[in-house]
Structure 1
Amino acid sequence: MSLTGSLLQFGSIIAAAAAFVVVVLLWGRLARRGAVAVVARGAALLGVNALVVFAMLISANDHFAFYSGWNDLVGANADAVVSTKGASRGTETKAQANALLAGTTKPTGPRGTPVDGYGDRVQQLTVTGASGVTSTALVVLPRGYDDPSQASTTYPVVVALHGYPGSPKQWLTALDVRPAVEVAVKSGQMADPIVVIPDLGIPAGRDNECLNGPQGQPQVETWLSSDLPKAVEASYRARTSPQAWAAMGFSMGGWCAAELTMLHPQQYGAGIVMGGYFRYEPGSGYVPFPKNSPEAQAHDLVAVAAKNPPAVSLFVASSQDDPESWPTTKAFLAAAKAPMSVTSLIAKTGGHRSDVWAAQMPQALAWLGKTAPGFAPTGTPQP
């Protein structure tokens, strides 16, 4: 019996309901005095509650696809296969890389405020701008950022995008991006970046898919592609070349990373998509534009990859039994071509959950250091 699907889901619900009815019918007998009756009542109540919890977990897993099957549940995932298609990247000379990084400005605006419990290296920055959107972003600074000896050092930027429902702190807890970045930097795989984690709940609780809404609604895509980069560059020593800016996300955030990289290559030269998708299907609660409108066609990233691919680099991680990610990822990988470069990490099994994406991050960061000139490692590996 499959872990996902209606058979197990409805079977578990029926079993829980049947157990409840049986306990109610037999309660008169279970209510007798004596140690045996007390144990029987306790076992009956525990059994009903266990079946109810099991049914709830099965239903949640069926909806969110946390685990794709029994093998995935017990940790028997197949090895992932890495492949690259489209244009090659990471072959620029040192002179070409330096030229790409020449556009760097000095910060002129205020920095964010330290976040309680995380020290001065994690700050919260309020961002507003031409989009009319006001929201916040967590900013994780590199080690030694405030060291006087590093006063002239500039840094590439990774914009980390959370899923829905979710929050920026997922990147500091479930996916803890900080140690993953520090390992990649210390091992000489990439340059130390500024990590920016925007709050995508604009407004809170809305599944906006990082898209501009209709007139009068928040222009989230503009905020992410224009207002946020300008605010970061004004407040921190961030490199301004698109080859030094990357969008990275999981689930809905993976879609956002692909969208920002492919539709705004003037800002984001690279993207990391973990468990994301490449076509947006409007939900019943929020529809930013009609399904067959010009805006919808422009945001069909599979069609963009096939007809007008931008000169950007993408790292795409998915599994063949992830129902949220794989169908459009498969179509996207088949359509991708030069001048876009796509490196894929595809497993046969793997659920739609944070520990899968956390495990993919080290390989994604190493890819970023090899592929985007602005993230190329400097110096030698640290002990």
Structure 2
Amino acid sequence: MGLTSKKVLLLAVLIAVALFILTIWLWPRLSHKNWRAVIGRIGLLLATQISLFASIGLFANNSFGFYASWADLFGQEQDPGVVTTYETGPHGTKLKMLGAERVSLPGGSRPEVGGRIEKVLIRGETSRINSLAYVYLPPQYFQPQYAKKKFPASVVLTGYPGTAEALYKKLHFPQTQHDLTKRKKTQPTVLVMMRPTVAPPRDTECVDIPNGPQTETFFTKDLRADISQHYRIGGEAKSWGIIGDSTGGYCALKMTMRHPEAFSSAVALSGNYKAPMDATTGNLFGGDRQLERENNLMWRQRHLPAAPVNLLVTTSKQGESNYQQTLNFIKQTKSPSRVSSIILDSGGHNFNTWRREIPAAMEWLGDHLKV
């Protein structure tokens, strides 16, 4: 059974309850002072506490989508499944399709009504990175009147480590896009949903690491080229936006500010403004102080020319650690960059807060993308 299976969670809860009852039932019998009774009490307490922590951990993982599988949890890689490969796109490049999923919407079984989510493997020719993505194609993509129309696209990123599935199962990006389009609040947009962890288990913070994974190149060049060749998407930066939460938010801002030729607009939901340096990231910059400074967005604003891009940042007055930094970032933003914000009175660094921000953020993003 999979890590995110409801059966696994239910089994963990049942074991925890059973051990709790067993502890109460056997405790009088284990009240003696001999070594067997002491070991029995210790064993029951440890087993009960471990089962309780496992239940809580599984529930939290199912709610927030930290890890997608047991292999993901333990830092092991899993090879992609054997799939059908076919020729498509204007240049005949091969795109590895891993299947399609029904969108959780009324009429979602019909692409022309609910759109479609396609699971694909993006293969980076320049970065040499391969990574999974879920591409949401809006209903208009399948409707006859839009048959020759190109669409704008938004890359949607999770935090670290994150699971791409959480973007449509928990944060409901396709459903929100569908609702906004239906109410004429935004334009039909293709969503490329994935996690920034494209070289797992390492947290690369979307950096081209010296002698390491070239993550920034993957997102700013390979992903856009591969997706544009296979879907009816505008190839210029004005047609491309990027939105992410937490680490994904930092990546969105950083890559748009550093590569305005790739993305014209970015949304950071509770994003940081510089990359952390810890056990999950390792040495991101290989001792290159200039590269480190250029990836620090506050330093970048103060010392480098601003790019002609649109930026949206979000935070909360209470509950978010980036509140003051966000205010400083807004204050430091120089023309020709343009900045907007969503600032809640309260809200933590979690899915519930981001679900409150996503509709307005996607409406803003749609207003700034052109084909």
- Is the pair's TM-score, using the shorter chain for normalization, greater than 0.5? yes
In the alignment, which residue of structure 1 is the partner of 2:332? 335
Q: Which amino acid aligns with 1:138?
A: Y
In the alignment, which residue of structure 2 is the partner of 1:99? none
Number of aligned residues:
297
What is the 5 A alignment of 1:52-131?
106=90, 108-111=92-95, 113=97, 115=99, 117-118=101-102, 121-123=116-118, 124-131=120-127
In the alignment, which residue of structure 2 is the partner of 1:365? 362
2:216 is matched with which residue: 206, 214, 221? Answer: 221
Give the drift of 1:201.
2.6
In the alignment, which residue of structure 1 is the partner of 2:135? 139
Kept after mapping to 2: 8 A contact 1:107/1:236:
no
Distance 1:323 1:149 in 2: 45
Distance 2:183 2:173 in 1: 16
Distance 2:146 2:95 in 1: 17
SS of alignment partner, residue 211 of structure 1: coil
Distance 2:344 2:143 in 1: 42
In the alignment, which residue of structure 2 is the partner of 1:278? 273
Distance 1:135 1:298 in 2: 26
What is the 5 A alignment of 1:1-383?
27-28=27-28, 106=90, 108-111=92-95, 113=97, 115=99, 117-118=101-102, 121-123=116-118, 124-215=120-211, 217-285=212-280, 286-290=282-286, 293-307=289-303, 308-370=305-367, 372-374=368-370
Given the superposition, is the C-alpha separation of residues 112 and 290 from structure 1 closer, same or farther in structure 2, using an over 3 Å criterion? closer
Give the drift of 1:275.
0.9
SS of alignment partner, residue 122 of structure 1: strand
- TM-score w.r.t. structure 2 length? 0.70
Given the superposition, is the C-alpha separation of residues 110 and 236 from structure 1 closer, same or farther in structure 2, using an over 3 Å criterion? farther
Give the drift of 1:113.
2.2
Give the drift of 1:330.
3.0
Q: Which has the higher contact order (CA 8 A, sep 6+)?
A: 1
Q: Which amino acid aligns with 1:265?
A: P
Given the superposition, is the C-alpha separation of residues 147 and 367 from structure 1 closer, same or farther in structure 2, using an over 3 Å criterion? closer
Distance 1:292 1:319 in 2: 34
Residue by residue over 1:269-303, the C-alpha shift from the partner in whole angstroms, topping out at 9 and shown as x without a partner, is 00011011111121134221157711001111112
Give the drift of 1:336.
1.2
Distance 1:281 1:373 in 2: 30
Distance 1:263 1:300 in 2: 11
Q: Which amino acid aligns with 2:366?
A: G
SS of alignment partner, residue 191 of structure 2: strand
Kept after mapping to 2: 8 A contact 1:251/1:325:
no
Q: RMSD of aligned C-alpha atoms?
A: 3.5
Kept after mapping to 2: 8 A contact 1:282/1:291:
no
What runs of 5+ residues in structure 1 fail to find an aligned partner? 1-19, 33-40, 65-104, 376-383
Give the drift of 1:116.
5.0
Distance 1:145 1:107 in 2: 20
Distance 1:201 1:364 in 2: 23
Q: Which amino acid aligns with 1:357?
A: W
Give the drift of 1:151.
2.1
Given the superposition, is the C-alpha separation of residues 318 and 115 from structure 1 closer, same or farther in structure 2, using an over 3 Å criterion? farther
Given the superposition, is the C-alpha separation of residues 131 and 114 from structure 1 closer, same or farther in structure 2, using an over 3 Å criterion? closer
Residue by residue over 1:64-123, the C-alpha shift from the partner in whole angstroms, topping out at 9 and shown as x without a partner, is 9xxxxxxxxxxxxxxxxxxxxxxxxxxxxxxxxxxxxxxxx9564345525354377211
- More moved, 285-294 vs 351-360: 285-294
- TM-score w.r.t. structure 1 length? 0.68
Give the drift of 1:125.
3.5
SS of alignment partner, residue 346 of structure 2: coil
Residue by residue over 1:146-169, the C-alpha shift from the partner in whole angstroms, topping out at 9 and shown as x without a partner, is 344422111000000111121111
Kept after mapping to 2: 8 A contact 1:158/1:247:
yes
